[in-house]
């Protein structure tokens, strides 16, 4: 009986290791000649921007497939929940597709994440990029499939049809450096480092220290939206990053309060507070500042916390591999990705 019990425990441990995220699947790195699928799992993107981005990716050497709904309008969505889920899964089921590029965020991913086939996604790992509302997809895939995805800029925002004089080199280099095979060939060790040393807005240390853990996080509003569902973010032992846009401090306070009350802020390995764009109050005499909200929830934590890190609705938006092992040095303001986030041995 003792032998039987031990066998059952060991078997359960093996299953638990896969189910709780101890084993992640990495997608193959991209290389010229591969095929990228444009999808619209949330809002639509105008046809001109989609076409211009397609031309830029083809000039880089990639083939591009565009699903039929990317510029369609269905309310504030590109299509019905069922149709968006079907087209998203079609990209994963297509053996010719190597990467899945949402054309924008907006709203809607949480309406269709329960319609996806996560076994198929795990069996067919592909580079998935995006941020903002795409956080819903990142968290769901991290929780249900354990496939590394990339919280990163959209290609349609890196390549712009208009000349606006904005230097997008930082986001451009970080995204291709995270997903393209050629970038890994030049490195002497796995992974890469995200730093604010050369940026106009340097990071700030709230709680000093160094910690390691797997990466998770994204848009705070989306993290809040999936909280209490089967797709909610796991934080224990993780390096968690947050960003948001257009939310008043009282709303961010409410989001953090929910995470606090549910224990999600008790035991991360570390926390990264990214850029919270247009999140200051219009009524400063009757409100806390954004910094005060952060201080209330994070100033006395027993783990490292850093502020103003390059993630969010900003030009300095780095790419973060969801599920990858990383090390945050809050003193130096650096995040080291400790492993290759894609397979580069093929």
Query: Rounded CA gap, 170 and 183, in Å?
Result: 14
Nearest to 145 by CA among 109, 121, 170: 121
* Class of 186-337 in CATH: alpha beta
Nearest to 233 by CA among 165, 144, 305: 144
Task: Judge whether residue 259 has pLDDT over 50.
Answer: yes
Whether domain 35-160+167-183 has CATH 2.60.40.420: the reply is: no
Determine the pLDDT at residue 109. Answer: 98
User: pTM of the predicted model, to two decimals?
Assistant: 0.92
Determine the pLDDT at residue 2. Answer: 34
Q: What H or E segment, with its residue span, contains residue 79?
A: none
| Secondary structure (3-state) at 248 | coil
Nearest to 131 by CA among 115, 118, 150, 145: 150
Confidence of residue 4 (pLDDT cuts 50, 70, 90): very low
Start-end of CATH 3.50.30.60 domains in the chain: 186-337
Q: What H or E segment, with its residue span, contains residue 335?
A: strand 334-337
Determine the pLDDT at residue 258. Answer: 97
DSSP labels for 162-199? S------HHHHHHHHHHHBHHHHHT-SSSSEEEE-TTS
Determine the pLDDT at residue 336. Answer: 98
Query: Rounded CA gap, 304 and 245, in Å?
Result: 24
- The mean per-residue pLDDT over the stretch 309-322 comes to 96
Start-end of CATH 3.40.50.10740 domains in the chain: 35-160+167-183
The token pair at 310 is: 């390059």
Range scoring the smallest mean pLDDT among 128-142, 145-159, 238-252, 276-290: 276-290
Task: Judge whether residue 244 has pLDDT over 80.
Answer: yes
Task: Judge whether residue 220 has pLDDT over 80.
Answer: yes
- Active-site residues, by number, are 132, 243, 313
Task: Judge whether residue 285 has pLDDT over 60.
Answer: yes
Confidence of residue 68 (pLDDT cuts 50, 70, 90): confident
First to last CA, the chain: 46
- The mean per-residue pLDDT over the stretch 55-59 comes to 97
- The mean per-residue pLDDT over the stretch 136-143 comes to 98
Determine the pLDDT at residue 18. Answer: 37
Kindly give, in sequence order, each residue whose CB lies less than 8 Å from that of residue 228, ignoring residues fewer than 6 positions away: 262
Phi (first) and psi of residue 320, to 5 degrees? -120, 120
Determine the pLDDT at residue 237. Answer: 97
What DSSP state is assigned to residue 153? -
Q: What H or E segment, with its residue span, contains residue 107?
A: none
């Amino acid at each position: 009986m003792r032998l039987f019990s031990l066998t059952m425990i060991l078997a359960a441990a093996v299953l638990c290791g896969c189910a709780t995220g101890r084993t992640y699947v990495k997608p193959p790195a991209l290389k010229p000649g591969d095929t990228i699928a444009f999808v619209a799992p949330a809002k639509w993107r105008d046809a001109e921007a989609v076409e211009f981005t397609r031309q830029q990716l083809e000039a880089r050497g990639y083939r591009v497939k565009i699903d039929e709904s990317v510029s369609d309008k269905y309310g504030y969505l590109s299509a019905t929940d069922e149709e968006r889920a079907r087209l998203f899964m079609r990209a994963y089921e297509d053996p010719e597709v190597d990467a899945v590029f949402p054309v924008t965020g907006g709203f809607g991913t949480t309406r269709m994440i329960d319609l996806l086939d996560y076994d198929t996604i795990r069996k067919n790992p592909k580079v998935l990029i995006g941020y903002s509302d795409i956080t819903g997809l990142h968290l769901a895939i991290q929780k249900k499939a354990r496939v590394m995805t990339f919280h990163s800029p959209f290609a349609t925002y890196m390549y712009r049809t208009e000349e606006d004089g904005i230097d997008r080199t930082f986001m451009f280099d970080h995204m291709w450096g995270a997903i393209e095979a050629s970038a890994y060939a030049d490195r002497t060790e796995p992974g890469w480092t995200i730093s604010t040393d050369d940026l106009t807005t340097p990071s700030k240390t709230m709680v000093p220290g160094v910690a390691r853990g797997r990466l998770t996080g994204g848009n705070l509003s989306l993290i809040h939206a999936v909280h209490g569902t089967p797709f909610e973010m796991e934080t224990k032992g993780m390096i968690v990053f947050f960003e948001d846009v257009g939310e008043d401090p009282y709303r961010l306070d409410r989001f953090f309060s929910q995470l606090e009350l549910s224990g999600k802020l008790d035991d991360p390995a570390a926390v990264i507070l990214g850029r919270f764009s247009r999140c200051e109050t219009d009524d400063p005499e009757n409100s806390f500042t954004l910094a005060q909200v952060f201080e209330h929830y994070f100033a006395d934590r027993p783990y490292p916390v850093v502020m103003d890190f390059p993630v969010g609705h900003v030009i300095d938006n780095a790419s973060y591999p969801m599920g990858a092992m990383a090390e945050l040095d809050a003193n130096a303001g650096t995040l080291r990705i400790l492993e290759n986030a894609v397979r580069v041995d093929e």
